[in-house]
Chain A
Amino acid sequence: MPEQPHEPEGAIAATGMGGAMDLATSEGATLEKTPGGPQGTGPSEKPRSLWSDAWRDLRRNPVFIISALVILFLVVISLWPSLIASGNPLKCDLAKAQEGSQPGHPFGYDGQGCDVYTRTVYGARTSVTVGVCATLGVALLGSVLGGLAGFFGGFWDSVLSRITDVFFAIPVVLGGLVLLSVVTSNTVWPVIGFMVLLGWPQISRIARGSVITAKQNDYVQAARALGASNSRLLLRHITPNAVAPVIVVATIALGTYISLEATLSYLGVGLKPPTVSWGIDISAASAYIRNAPHMLLWPAGALALTVLAFIMLGDAVRDALDPKLR
């Protein structure tokens, strides 16, 4: 068969293979006709990588921009709540309990006569801290342990899998009652620590599974045959291909942690007043949902918006890391 190895595939298909143009070669021919391609790849353009492409993609994604702005706003009011709320969240007037919206107090008053708007703004700090820190802690610990166990396998993998089995058997609420009842400090850190302790096995199992799937791919073998070190295999080949399920589960779990903090506070083992948090307010308001729904609506709405923003952000990042979706 006449063959010029220097010719692109489409050309060979035309000369060498005669009529035997199949799907693959005609695909090649299509690529041939548009050398610039949809991304406008030119010879003078600088080389790109997954991360720079992902960032380019994210900057143009409205979902990413909106969710990032919401999260930025939440961070700002967590740090400086007095920027948008001038009142004192702890200054309450029982005479105004459960009153609805009125000038200067757009969200109304709660069961203790505290201003709901001020409490919602001040509650962001606790709730966002609990949600973000617990999620980060769980995601980091879980994916590092699970990822390494999945990558190296063997004895430590078996040990880790049995440990996760043990943790799965502990009911969260019961574990919280036992572990947190001995804690006297009224800060968010013991609560976050407890969530990380009980939450990491979930992420660990997901990370382990997706690392095992990724490491069996031939491109990992190919890199190994080139002499790539384990850290290169993990960072360049396995992590980008295994991180998607971890992002999805972790962002969904963020909302769970914010509401778990409320559950623990309701049971008296989480945060105690005078700490202000959405969780405390939601559980307090849930008893009055028929008389004064506004007490529940605003902190719950803030929680929903926060969770939604993080889930959308996670989704956008996951999609940006998948070149097939571009």
Chain B
Amino acid sequence: MAEHQEPILEVSGLVKHYPLTTGILFKKQVGAVKAVDGVDFTLNRGETLGIVGESGCGKSTVAKMLVNLERPTAGEIRFKGEDISKLSGKALKSVRRNIQMVFQDPYTSLNPRMTVGDIIGEPYDIHPEVAPKGDRRRKVQDLLDVVGLNPEYINRYPHQFSGGQRQRIGIARGLALRPEVIVADEPVSALDVSVQAQVINLMAGLQDEFELSYLFIAHDLSIVRHISDRVGVMYLGRIVEIGKDAEIYDHPTHPYTQALLSAVPVPDPEAREHRERIILAGDVPSPTNIPSGCRFRTRCWKAQERCELEVPALAVPAEFRHVTGPAAHDSACHFAEEKQVVPSEEPQEPQDPEGKSNGPG
């Protein structure tokens, strides 16, 4: 799918800090919630980049900044080379046509007092240049058909639909302007499991049909693996590891990724017995008070003095720099090592249960 590596969206040094203030009328800043604290990634044309991480790690804030619902505190978002994060007025409006969003909760993302026709047709009201007035109703019905809904439902209200159907309406609205990039913020996590697969497969089908690039945000690792070409793992406002899906899932080198993957349910009881479950100590630190150096060090079993002093860069770790193979991908860890936590198809030896052994400086 992503054979031609033409970047369509490049994000560098993206930061979003929400100020914490006190005072009733005249507010004074006393701190900041560092929701996103330096995120870099590239989304290529026709590719799906999955972003995973636990609640509160800043995934949704990144999504909101990409569709310009939030202004970044710092950093750049380049769409086809142009920085869109500081645009306003007409220029912003025309860029919005190319980057659209699918929301998490289909129960709150559709206006309950608008008909489906009005909801899907609203993009054409806002961007009248896309579709002439007489043509809109047909376009809306086409979109309903494309997402697998009956085009006759145009005069119905959202409450007359099930969760999966509502999410299809949300996808149709996202497609209306024929965007090139779709940012999907946990598009299936509010749906029943049996409907999740339908919606995911619909999205995968639409990607080929409309040549879309997806930024797919989720906390469900197996769904991200199913749809993504590349995966980025976020922790506390930063991407800690990013690479092709096989690199991340089968050859994770960052301890946080390894811990996250070890929590994925394994449907095979044989394999489940042999796998190691990494249980992290403590809670995620507060985003108002992020640890120095490596932000994962407070929960990491490998943490040493260096982790406290030096921020690890998101790059291919030194020990893998000269090898070619799936382990050689970007990972922000001083002591990165490969560790297979998701059991592969054939049974294997149980791994070193200590896992704490080394640490080549």
Q: List chain A positions with a Cβ less than 8 A from chain B.
A: 1, 3, 5-9, 12-13, 16-17, 20-25, 27-28, 31-32, 35-37, 39, 41-43, 45, 47-50, 53, 155, 158-159, 162, 217-219, 221-228, 232, 236-237, 240-241, 321-324
Contact = CB atoms under 8 A, between A and B. Distances in A.
B157 A323 contact: yes
B148 A7 contact: yes
B198 interface: yes
Contacts of B165: 9, 24, 28, 31
Nearest to B108: A218
- The number of chain B residues touching the other chain, given as a range, is 35 or more
A25 B103 contact: no
Given A28-B164, A31-B153, A53-B115, 20 more contacts: A1-B197, A5-B201, A12-B198, A16-B197, A22-B192, A22-B194, A24-B164, A27-B162, A28-B162, A28-B165, A31-B150, A41-B154, A47-B154, A50-B113, A50-B114, A50-B118, A159-B25, A219-B109, A222-B103, A224-B69
A222 B106 CA distance: 11
B308 interface: no
B162 A219 contact: no
A31 B69 CA distance: 35
Contacts of A218: 103-105, 108-109
B156 interface: yes
A321 B156 CA distance: 14
A42 to B, nearest CB: 7
19 contacts: A6-B146, A7-B148, A9-B165, A25-B195, A28-B162, A31-B162, A47-B137, A47-B155, A50-B113, A217-B108, A221-B103, A224-B69, A226-B96, A227-B126, A236-B114, A236-B122, A240-B111, A241-B112, A321-B113
Contacts of B126: 223, 226-228, 232
Nearest to A159: B25
Contacts of A36: 152
B92 interface: yes
B85 interface: no
B156 A37 contact: yes
List 10 tightest A-B contacts by C-beta distance, closest first: A218-B109, A24-B162, A323-B157, A5-B205, A219-B111, A3-B201, A227-B96, A20-B194, A27-B162, A227-B93
Contact of A35 (B111, B150, B195): B150
Nearest to B202: A5
Given A3-B205, A218-B105, A226 B69 contact: no
Contact of B149 (A8, A45, A236): A8
B145 A6 contact: yes
B96 A225 contact: yes
B155 to A, nearest CB: 5
Contacts of A5: 146-148, 201-202, 205-206
Choose among A20, A31, A45 the residue with the greatest number of B CB atoms under 10 Å from its CB.
Answer: A31
A216 to B, nearest CB: 9
Interface string B294-308: 000000000000000
Contacts of B123: 226
Contact of A3 (B68, B111, B147, B198): B198
In the complex, which of the residues B145, B146, B164, B198 has the most CB atoms of chain A within 10 Å of its own CB atom? B198
